[in-house]
Amino acid sequence: MNEEALLKAGALGAVQAGQCGSSAHFVTTILHQFAESLGFAIDAKDQSTRMHSDEVARISQVLALTMGLSGTEGQIIHVAGHLHDIGKIGVPDAVLGKCGTLTPAEWKAMRRHPQAGADILRPVAALSNLGVVDMVLFHHERYDGAGYPHGLKGLAIPLGARIIALGDTLSAMLQDRPYRKARTFDAAHDEIIRCSCSQFDPRVVEAFRESAGKLESLVENGAGKTLAA
Ligand SMILES: [Fe+2]
Ligand SMILES: [Fe+2]
């Protein structure tokens, strides 16, 4: 992340005012604390997704770094991971916790959460200018264009959103849901490889393949804040 982007995000204003030690400090402390807190809030609302937002944040950061993105870009994607499902705050609890198949109306309510999340976060200039709002808005797009809310395809989907899409799916597959049991890491691994070029960007899948061992221990241990690494 260059200085111009951080200036637009308002980070350097804080630095110049002596409130932070550096621009990276702004992302790793103020913005991260804010995102982590909101992520915990949405995970608390949905009992089936314990620590899901935190896990998505850490998985996505590992994928970003494996792809060669900068440390700061990885940290920004980590922040977006915490916030990716914040729009579910507007989805009724009965829909979030439903065991059976969603009705068309319930599915419509569920599919509104990326746009709702972007609308919630957009007033925070730093999140808009660092690309976090768009990562949240597009985290359910698919590489083949069959996702939502806009049906964006391939590289038209912001890279951070393509990364979070895989991190989100991996974390979700490894957790029990009201409508299905958790998969093993090996089963989730095979499913992600199978969905390369359809659901996922093949470059992100390649990073997943490369970092699979690290990710498996990350989700098993559940500890360690990748952000500061
Ligand atoms: Fe975090
Ligand atoms: Fe989501």
Residues 109-155 have pLDDT tens digits of 999 999 999 999 999 999 999 999 999 999 999 999 999 999 999 99
Residues 82/164, Cβ–Cβ less than 8 Å: no
Give the bridge partners for 196, in sequence order. Answer: 200
Q: Where are the alpha helices (DSSP H) in the chain?
A: 3-8, 11-16, 23-25, 32-45, 52-66, 71-83, 93-96, 104-111, 113-121, 125-129, 132-137, 159-173, 185-194, 202-221
Which ligand has the minimum distance to the alpha carbon of residue 56? 1
Residues 39-95: pLDDT tens digits? 998 988 876 677 899 999 999 999 999 999 999 999 999 999 999 999 999 999 999
- Residue 11 has a pLDDT of 44
Per the CB < 8 A criterion, the answer to whether 165 and 139 are in contact is: yes
The domains of the chain, with CATH numbers, are 25-216 (1.10.3210.10)
- The whole-number pLDDT of residue 172 equals 93
**Chain mean position to CA 93:** 21
Ligand nearest to the CA of 58: 1
Among residues 16, 35, 12, the alpha carbon closest in space to that of 24 is found at 12
- What does each C-alpha distance from 143 to 7, 70, 73 come to in angstroms? 31, 23, 21
Q: Distance of CA 210 to CAs 61, 88, 171, 178, Å?
A: 14, 32, 17, 31
Which residue do the tokens 């709002």 mark? 133
Q: What are the residues whose beta carbons fall under 8 Å from the beta carbon of 200, sequence distance 6 or more?
A: 142, 143, 162, 165, 166, 169, 192
* Least distant ligand from the CA of 78: 1
Check whether 16 has a pLDDT greater than 90: no
- Kindly identify the ligand whose nearest atom is closest to the C-alpha of 141: 2
Q: How far is the centre of ligand 1, averaged over its atoms, from the C-alpha of 101 (Å)?
A: 32
Distance 103 CA to ligand 1 centre (A): 34
Distance 102 CA to ligand 1 centre (A): 31
